[in-house]
Every structure is written in structure tokens, then in C-alpha cells.
Amino acid sequence: KRSYNVTLLPGDGIGPEVVAVAKDVLSLAGALEGVEFRFQEKLMGGAALDAYGVPLPEETLTAAQASDAVLLGAIGGYKWDNNEKHLKPETGLLQIRAGLGVFANLRPAAVLPQLVDASTLKKEVAEGVDIMVVRELTGGIYFGQPRGFGTNNKGENTGFNTEVYSASEVDRIARVAFEVARKRRGKLCSVDKANVLEASMLWRKRVTSLASEFPDIELSHMYVDNAAMQLIRNPKQFDTIVTNNIFGDILSDEASMLTGSIGMLPSASVGESGPGLFEPIHGSAPDIAGQDKANPLATILSTAMLLRYGLGEENAAKRVEAAVTETLNNGFRTGDIYSPGTTLVGCKRMGEEVLKTV
Amino acid sequence: KRSYNVTLLPGDGIGPEVVAVAKDVLSLAGALEGVEFRFQEKLMGGAALDAYGVPLPEETLTAAQASDAVLLGAIGGYKWDNNEKHLKPETGLLQIRAGLGVFANLRPAAVLPQLVDASTLKKEVAEGVDIMVVRELTGGIYFGQPRGFGTNNKGENTGFNTEVYSASEVDRIARVAFEVARKRRGKLCSVDKANVLEASMLWRKRVTSLASEFPDIELSHMYVDNAAMQLIRNPKQFDTIVTNNIFGDILSDEASMLTGSIGMLPSASVGESGPGLFEPIHGSAPDIAGQDKANPLATILSTAMLLRYGLGEENAAKRVEAAVTETLNNGFRTGDIYSPGTTLVGCKRMGEEVLKTV
Ligand SMILES: CC(C)[C@H](C(=O)O)[C@@H](O)C(=O)O
Ligand SMILES: CC(C)[C@H](C(=O)O)[C@@H](O)C(=O)O
């Protein structure tokens, strides 16, 4: 029997509710495919700030690093919004990404046939959209040095950050993206701002030169402003998108909203080796926390990504995804994706329905 | 009789066609309101590269600086796409923005009732959208130093840029935005990434502290990734948006595409004093250049912004805008906004129809 250690990081807001449900689905899907899980739960984000005064305790990072995969719920909440930077829940998130070296963030945005009406796009535009954004996650302006506050030559306060990429940082994320495109429809669009930024010029040059290693992939380049437009004009033109950390932050959220159902969207962050980090893209939704209203499907689908990209357990991954599809086909909906004629359920009940079909 | 000097920069691609048409509309609207124009035409972008080997000749900048307003068509084309940075048409655009000191870029994105079907958004989502993006245009990562290519401590090539804002740079763009919001619906949303970037933390702090000078304006803050989502989820929640140079580049293009008719959208770039720069947001569209197919309405509406924000000639501005509305009501459409039941016309004819109604 194959056996894995999974670190659970429920986090804040609705995080604990959705992780609890997803854990059960992961266990069952694994068991049915001869896979066993040992879980350990650790604190991070606001929960860790309250308990230990830091957003990512050393103990949490060490445990995560020592495990085979990490499942994160969500972090943040009003309570910590005005904290200083090093005491923000978000800082814990950046620290665990860096600490695990998960430089490749995969964010699928697909419009499900059952939920096409949830999109604010016209049906004919939304139907069939299936995009994977591959975002660089441990470099660029999020981590670049120097950064901070200073004074300019007029004696004024300034705030500054550095957008920087090295050749190998671009190469490794581009390789992941080419491989992802190869398993999808064979089209890769690299997004940058190479008409203005040197960091983007290097990016484009490296991505272009890697293309010869992937002759079967159709590579194109697009400026980020145009990409923001094209996602709305004709999202079906995109298969796989690769881009830097900040552009990926913006464009993956834009792409996800095209589906109209961000409560459904998972993500995977992986590195060269070591455990990956898997999490729903939605936030901690403090306003509905603890009310059994959250949609657990994004976290459940994140366990499918954990199985596929984190552990190579493709069969169990497919089992989870099929269960989610069947549950939707059975008409069960949480509030965020409810429409007349379907059955409104809470977080726990949705989990039970998925379990039945696993 | 009031008299103004206007520098025309037709530029590349469809630029010359749309500027020629817009010039006639500007002249007539002015004449009918007792305003006289003296025009001088100068080269910039690819046209200047071909003639002088630089994208912004000294002569062009000097003439522009000495005039009362500058009307630009569009720049760029395949021919110059692989030029080195200092020989790119885009570099000329950045140089003229800096040279004129036009730090405030106003980009309206409104869904016109006549063109609501052009949007890829559902009618009920698109209808009534009326957003003004105020983008900082002469600072941030577009101009920040240091920038360039280097080597890191592993001996690898790097590309880097600096995102930097000073207190006064934020203050002056925020003031413009508060004033703009005051003339609109009194709501201002400042967009940043203050949960990660120091440059954004300074931005948010300054914008927040200016709010007390504008007690009648409802100020909110939003992270850029969320803004990219909210523009799609519910664009009507926005009135005026203020943001930095790169986020403004992305979000203003995203907002413009919500309308489905970017051939209709003008922009204004203004500074503390000196001439403003007015241009359509669409590009040079080299594939349809010289075929009399371009939509001149964005450039015509840019002359309305020139009259209003550049010269304070509100009556003439209203005259131009009313003429565009009437021409649309009369059913005339260029190819980009054509729908069955309307009359398809070319660039020149569209100009003639607008002239008739001025
Ligand atoms: C919370 C924030 C730091 C984070 C990011 O910007 O990466 C989030 O927006 C995300 O995309 O995971
Ligand atoms: C052409 C390019 C340099 C420019 C910019 O990024 O500012 C354009 O995208 C714009 O928005 O006017």
C-alpha cells in the first residue's frame, strides 16, 4: 500500500470547514485506489498569529517541508488587515511558498457545462473556456531586492520594489509551462511587457529560446495589457498561459472570474522536488465563516491536483474529479453557484454528496 | 476669437486616417463655438524612425511642448517590432509622455446604449457601465531606476526594473482622481497591491491621507487582483479608479474591452501645466491601415477630451460628443462596431456624417 504524509493548513475564515470536507474526500479516494494518508494539522496565517505571534511558525514550515504534500485552506481576515507587513497573514503565505520552493503555480480556469450560466459572459463566449495559467510564484517583484521605503533627492518619502528575473528562473517556469501545454492542447502563450520592461525582455528571450526543445508546442507572445483584453474578448483563444508573478496574480484572477464560479477553482504550486502546496483560489471569506455555507468543491478539486501533480496518483485524482462532476450533475449547489431548479446545500452536505459518488 | 495651436502627430498605421478626420471635426466644432485652431503636423513613432532614425525627434517634442494641445493617432507596426529598445516606436511614446510631463492619464470606458450588444458581457451586466480609469503615467516601473540587464551572484543573466513612487507623485495623481470623481458620481476606488509591495503601501497611505481634503468623495481601496475580477463580476460597482502606471495599463485595457468597442474609446493625458496629449486607446492596426476601414470615433472623441481637459472649451467638447451620439443614432457604423440593421461605412464617410451633425 502506498502511503503519504499530508500536512493540512486549515488557516482562517472558511479554511477549516472546507479543509475538513476535502480531507475526507481525499482519504476515501485514496483508500479506493490503494493509497493511504497520514495527516497532520498545523497553524498558519491569522490562526498562527493569534497563537504564536507569527504568520508562519517554524514548526509549521518544518512539518510542511517534511511531508509529501501540503493542503491549505485560506488565510486572512479583517482582524489582521491593518497589521504591519511582517505580521500579515499574507506574509505567511509568501514565506511558505518560498520555504517550499514552489515556483510554479498552476491555476486552471474552466467553464463547466453545468455552470455556464454563472459566468457574466455571454453563453457563446463562455462555453468551452478552458485555460491554465502557469504563474511564476517565488520570484519577480514579490521577492525582488532591494525593496522598502526611502527618501529621494528632494527629501521626499518613497516606496520601492524590484522586479527581477534571472535566466534560470525563467527557464524553469517556462519548462513547466511547455510540459503543461503538451498535456493539454499544445498551445502556450507567454505574457509579458517586453515593449517596456527589461525584466520582460529577458523573459521573452529565454522563453523563445526554449521553444526549440518543444517543437510540438505552438508558442505565442502577448503583452499583458492585450492579454487582459483578449481574456474578455475571446477567452477560447487561450490554452496555457505562462507569466510572471505579478502579472500571473492579476491574469489568473481575471481568468478565474470568467467562469463565474471561483468557489470551484483549485490551484497547485509545485517546485523542482519536495512537497507541493495545494489550495483553492478563493479567499477566507470571513463574512460566511463558520456558517456551513462555504463551497468545498475548490478545495476538493485541489486534492485532485494534489494527487495528480503532487503524488502522481492519477487514478485517485480522476476519481475525485469525476465525483465532483457527478455531484454537480445530481443538482447539488452551494449558495455561490445556486440557480433555480437545483438543490441548495451547505458545505458539509456537499461534502457528503461528493463522498457518496467517489 | 480664442485661438489655439494644436500639434498633430498622425503616427503609424491607421493613425494618419483617423487624425485627418478628427482634425476636421475639431475645426468645425471650434469654429461654431468661436474657437480657431492652428495645426502643425509632426512625425513620431515608426514614421519618425523611417525619416530620422529616432522615434521622437527633438523637433517634434519641441513643437509639442510649445503648443496648446497635442493630438496623437497611433504608433507602431510589425516593421519596427524587433527594433532595439531605444529604436522602438513605443519608446517615442514614453518619451513624449515624460517630455510633456503628462502624469495623469484619463481613460473612460463606457458602454453606449447603442453598442451594448458589442460587449461580450451579458446585457444586464454591461448595460450602464461607465468607468473612468485615472492611471499614473510618468512614474512607477515604466520609468524607475535602476533598470537594465545584469548578472546575479551565480553568474547568470538577469533583467530588472524598479517600481518606485514618491509621496508627491502619489499625491498629485490622487488629487486629479479625486477631482475627476467629484465631477462624476463621487466614488473613487484606489487600486494597489499593498498586501505585498512597499510601493503600494506608500501609495495607499498617501491616498488615504488625502481623503480628508475631499470629504464628499467616497474612497475605497482594492487589491489589483481583486479589481481584475470585480471588473468582470460587476463592473457597475466602479465609478472612478485610480492606480499606478503598470496596473493602470492592464486595468484600463481590461475595462475598455468590457465595452466591446475599443474603436470608440478616447484618452487624455494631462500634467500640472503645459499641453495635454490626447489619443485613441486603440493601436495602429497595421492590417487595415490605408484601407479606409478604421473607426475614427475614438480619435474624434479624443478631440472632445482635448477641448474639455486640454483647453477648457466645454461647449465645443459637448458639441463633438453630441455629434458622435447622433451619428450612431443615425445608424452609421464602421466594421468594428457593425451589426445587422445598421449602415456600414468607412473612415472618411463616418467623418462626413459626424461633420454633418456637429
Ligand atoms: C494574498 C496574496 C499575497 C496572494 C498573492 O498575491 O500571491 C493571493 O492574491 C494569491 O494570488 O494567492
Ligand atoms: C505602447 C505601450 C508602451 C503603452 C503603455 O504601456 O503605456 C500602451 O500600452 C498604452 O497603454 O498606451
pLDDT in tens, A53-94: 999 999 999 999 999 999 999 999 999 988 999 999 999 999
Of B125, B232, B253, the CB nearest to A258: B232
- Ligand at minimal distance from the CA of B225 is 1
Chain B residues within an 8 Å CB radius of A167: 156-158
| B284 has pLDDT over 90 | yes
If we measure between CA atoms, which residue out of A176, A179, A187 comes closest to residue A219? A187
B108 — phi, psi (to 5°)? Answer: -75, 145
Ligand 1 pocket test: pick from A90, A142, A284 the residue with the most ligand atoms within 8 Å of its Cβ: A90
- Residue ID of nearest Cα to ligand 2 atom 7: B249
If we measure between CA atoms, which residue out of A39, A45, A42 comes closest to residue A69? A39
C-alpha B2/C-alpha B33 separation (Å) is 9
Of B88, B161, B201, the CB nearest to A197: B161
Distance A333 CA to ligand 1 centre (A): 27
CB of B347 within 8 A of CB of B17? Answer: yes
- Is A130 one of the catalytic residues? no
Tell me which DSSP letter residue B148 carries: E
| B289 has pLDDT over 90 | yes
For residue A35, give the H/E element and its range.
strand A35-41
For residue A233, what pLDDT is reported?
97
For residue A335, what pLDDT is reported?
95
For residue A302, what pLDDT is reported?
98
B82 — phi, psi (to 5°)? Answer: -100, 15
For residue A271, what pLDDT is reported?
97
Ligand 1 within 6 A of A93 CB? yes
Q: How many C-beta neighbours within 10 Å does residue B201 have?
A: 20
| B1 has pLDDT over 90 | no
| B60 has pLDDT over 90 | yes
Per-residue pLDDT reduced to its tens digit, A259-313: 998 999 999 999 999 999 999 999 999 999 999 999 999 999 999 999 999 999 9
For residue A285, what pLDDT is reported?
95
| Paired strand residues for B33 | none
* B259 contact partners, CB below 8 Å, separation of at least 6: B109, B110, B111, B112, B115, B118, B119, B126, B129, B265
Torsion over CA: A109, A112, A115, A116 (sign)? positive
For residue B206, what pLDDT is reported?
98
Of A12, A24, A192, A249, catalytic: A249
Ligand 2 within 6 A of B12 CB? no
* B290 contact partners, CB below 8 Å, separation of at least 6: B14, B17
- Residue ID of nearest Cα to ligand 1 atom 3: A90
For residue B81, what pLDDT is reported?
87
Q: How far is B157 from chain A (nearest CA, A)?
A: 6
Average pLDDT over residues B67-73: 98
Average pLDDT over residues B325-336: 97
CB of A52 within 8 A of CB of A43? Answer: yes
- Cβ–Cβ below 8 Å for A258 and B202: no
Ligand 1 within 6 A of B225 CB? yes
Distance A283 CA to ligand 1 centre (A): 9
Q: How many C-beta neighbours within 10 Å does residue B331 have?
A: 13
Of B23, B42, B88, B193, catalytic: B193
* A179 contact partners, CB below 8 Å, separation of at least 6: none
- Cβ–Cβ below 8 Å for B232 and A246: no
**Which of the residues in chain A have pLDDT under 70?**
none
Tell me which DSSP letter residue A121 carries: B
For residue B82, what pLDDT is reported?
87
Q: Which amino acid is at B144?
A: G
Ligand 2 within 6 A of A226 CB? no
Atom of ligand 1 nearest to the CA of A97: 7
Distance A85 CA to ligand 2 centre (A): 32
| Paired strand residues for A214 | none
Q: Which domains does chain B have, with CATH numbers?
A: 1-103+265-358 (3.40.718.10), 130-258 (3.40.718.10)
Per-residue pLDDT reduced to its tens digit, B96-125: 999 999 999 999 999 999 999 999 999 999
| Cell numbers for B288 | 487595415
What spatial distance separates the first Cα and last Cα of chain B, rounded to whole Å? 19
C-alpha A185/C-alpha A203 separation (Å) is 23
Per-residue pLDDT reduced to its tens digit, B71-104: 999 999 999 988 999 999 999 999 999 999 999 9
CB of A116 within 8 A of CB of A236? Answer: no
For residue A82, what pLDDT is reported?
87
B102 — phi, psi (to 5°)? Answer: -85, 90
